[in-house]
Amino acid sequence: MSMNEASACPRILVVDDEAHLRELLEITLIKMGLDVDSAETLTIARSYLSKRAYALVLTDMRLPDGSGMELVQEVNTLYKSTPIAVITAFGSADNAVVALKAGAFDYVSKPVALDQLRKLVRSALQTNEVQKEQQAAPEKLAAPASSFMIGQSQGMQEVRAQISRLARSMAPVIITGESGSGKELAAREIHTSSARSGKPFIAVNCGAIPETLMEAEFFGYRKGAFTGAADDRDGFFQAASGGTLMLDEVADLPLPMQVKLLRAIQERRVRKVGSTVEEAVDVRIISATHQNLAICVEEGRFRQDLYYRLNVIELHLPPLRERLEDIVELSSNILKKLTGNDVNMSEEAIDALISYDFPGNVRELENILERAVAFANDGCIEVADLVLRGARKSGDQAVMLPAQVDVSQVEERPQVPADHASAVNLFAAPSLPCSLPDYLENVEREMIRRALYQTRNNRTQAAELLGVSFRQLRYQIQKLKIQE
């Protein structure tokens, strides 16, 4: 690791009243090429902090003249650019959560594992480097090109500000928000703006893994652990090593797996299926869900201890209908991505979009525009090219509403064969029995039903068959209320 390349010798402040632990920490840090100051009490630590700048503060929780938590709070308000990590007593995982919530960068638990300590220190120093670079070139930070997330609405600005704060810490984050609101994108952005950006970002859809394979998928397995285990294999934790592991749709985790994950996250160690040894893993956990986890806990579907562990910091993504200002910018970006060109939209079309509810949020906007591009004449999107489904906000005028149709009748229509279903075919239909949105919806419903039937309700295979992502399929199944 080239952690001391940029600044000659980063300085670290160690605050601990146990002399032998302090010594051990000092020696370890000095061997890493760092300068170390050490303090036995909060008072001494404060005096050091007032005189020198530190690349990291490492503090014990229980000190003779107060709690390490006080220092966490002080450093976070008075020395904002200095990361502070805490040393927690064995078995006091709750303390670590409290410290992370208060803004601690990370924690190590006693007895201090030196390899874990070194990783923590490196990570803190790298975060400093990233920050320094960003300060040196602020225009780089401000440029939207470096950010995946588009939108200048108040809501998005807050999301971005929170993301840049979160990028500086190791604390677990839970991202909440409706389907298609950008949870995965936000998780990626936290990862790429953090010191972990050079390491893998792995997103796992917890609802898509068969329960029997879960442990092996997450933790890996040893050769011969079960039939078919021909070789040793790493799991998601090892694959994300040094980086970020996103537990997407975390509410879908079965209870037994929740126990195992909690343990892995708490101990930062995992054991491969079929192995007797544990290995240390260094991953940052970001989870996401469109469900209300607190309710899942109340209903006994989600373990409270895991909830508590993952829910250190919540990042909420506002639904698109609450940030209408973003629609135009999002649309032009999406259209540019789709066509490589600037595509015009008529004012009526823009009005129609702004008046729409977007139950499927940005993903739905993408889908609507993808279709619109296919239907649009002379490179300009008109209201008629927009297929907006059912719902609309009350009081708005500009939205086109699909005609009410008797859906039961539509269902009886001859079905478009799977391999011929294309926009062209739809236009070729002799007469349209209902509005275009309803017709399209029925074709979609039918295709999905067929795919599910052919794959015996295996959603992963069905998605493959349909050429869509698992999430898209799940989203469509929910939206079209398809019974499997």
Ligand X SMILES: Nc1ncnc2c1ncn2[C@@H]1O[C@H](COP(=O)(O)OP(=O)(O)OP(=O)(O)O)[C@@H](O)[C@H]1O
Q: Which residue is nearest to ligand X (CB)?
A: 182
Which of 115, 110, 125 lies closest to 33, judged by CA? 125
In degrees, rounded to 5, the angle at the alpha carbon of residue 369 between the alpha carbons of residues 338 and 438 is 140
Residue 418 binding partner per list ligand X, Mg ion, none, with a CB distance cut-off of 5 to 8 Å that depends on partner kind? none
Q: Which of 183, 233, 271, 272 binds ligand X (CB under 6 A)?
A: 183
Phi/psi at 432 (5° precision): -95, 125
Distance separating alpha carbons of residues 477 and 484, to the nearest angstrom:
9
Binding span for Mg ion by CB under 5 A among 10-18, 166-174, 182-190, 304-312: 182-190
* Nearer CB in complex with ligand X: 185/202: 185
Minimum distance of ligand X from residue 72's CB (angstroms): 31
Q: Is 87 in the site for ligand X (CB under 6 A)?
A: no
Binding span for Mg ion by CB under 5 A among 56-64, 114-122, 175-183, 364-372: 175-183
Q: Which of 290, 309, 389, 459 binds ligand X (CB under 6 A)?
A: 290
Task: Report long-range pairs for 182-186 (Cβ below 8 Å, ≥24 apart).
Answer: 182/149, 182/317, 182/361, 182/362, 183/248, 183/288, 183/290, 183/317, 184/246, 184/248, 184/288, 185/148, 185/149, 186/149, 186/159, 186/315, 186/317
Sketch the per residue contact string, 465 through 484, with ligand X: x for CB under 6 A, - otherwise: ------x---x---------
Minimum distance of ligand X from residue 211's CB (angstroms): 20
Task: Tell me the H-state helices in 429-469.
Answer: 436-454, 459-466
Amino acid letter, residue 303: R
Binding span for ligand X by CB under 6 A among 33-41, 48-56, 179-187, 295-303: 179-187
Minimum distance of ligand X from residue 285's CB (angstroms): 16
| Count, residues near ligand X per rule CB under 6 A | 18
Query: In this structure, are residues 160 and 147 in contact, taking their beta carbons and an 8 Å threshold?
Result: yes
Residue 177 binding partner per list ligand X, Mg ion, none, with a CB distance cut-off of 5 to 8 Å that depends on partner kind? ligand X
DSSP 8-state assignment for residue 273: B
Binding span for Mg ion by CB under 5 A among 44-52, 183-191, 264-272, 400-408: 183-191
Q: What residues are paired with 39 via a beta bridge?
A: 15
Query: In this structure, are residues 354 and 386 in contact, taking their beta carbons and an 8 Å threshold?
Result: no
Three-state DSSP class for residue 316: strand
Q: Is 160 in the site for ligand X (CB under 6 A)?
A: no
Q: Is 16 in the site for Mg ion (CB under 5 A)?
A: no
Phi/psi at 153 (5° precision): -60, 160
Minimum distance of Mg ion from residue 208's CB (angstroms): 11
Q: Is 10 in the site for ligand X (CB under 6 A)?
A: no
Three-state DSSP class for residue 131: helix
Binding span for ligand X by CB under 6 A among 178-186, 222-230, 370-378, 384-392: 178-186
* Nearer CB in complex with ligand X: 4/153: 153
11 class by beta-carbon count within 10 Å (0-12 exposed, 13-18 middle, 19+ buried): middle
Minimum distance of ligand X from residue 156's CB (angstroms): 6
Minimum distance of Mg ion from residue 458's CB (angstroms): 20
Quick one: which H or E segment has residue 264? helix 255-267
Minimum distance of Mg ion from residue 242's CB (angstroms): 23
Residues 6+ apart with CB under 8 A from 14: 22, 25, 26, 29, 36, 37, 38, 39, 58, 59
Residue 179 binding partner per list ligand X, Mg ion, none, with a CB distance cut-off of 5 to 8 Å that depends on partner kind? ligand X
Distance separating alpha carbons of residues 65 and 58, to the nearest angstrom:
16
Q: Which of 60, 106, 178, 184 binds Mg ion (CB under 5 A)?
A: 184
The region, left, alpha or beta by phi > 0 then psi within -120 to 50, assigned to residue 318 is: beta
Q: Is 185 in the site for ligand X (CB under 6 A)?
A: yes
Q: Is 319 in the site for ligand X (CB under 6 A)?
A: no
Q: Is 67 in the site for ligand X (CB under 6 A)?
A: no
Q: HEC profile for 84-113? A: EEEEECCCCHHHHHHHHHCCCCEEEECCCC
Restricting to residues 330-369, which ones interact with ligand X according to CB under 6 A? 330, 362-363, 366
Residue 205 binding partner per list ligand X, Mg ion, none, with a CB distance cut-off of 5 to 8 Å that depends on partner kind? none
* Nearer CB in complex with ligand X: 108/167: 167
Task: Tell me the H-state helices in 14-112.
Answer: 19-31, 42-51, 68-78, 93-101
Binding span for ligand X by CB under 6 A among 177-185, 301-309, 351-359, 430-438: 177-185
**Footprint of ligand X on this chain (CB under 6 A)?**
149-151, 177, 179-185, 290, 330, 362-363, 366, 471, 475
Q: By the criterion CB under 5 A, which residues form the site for Mg ion?
A: 183-184
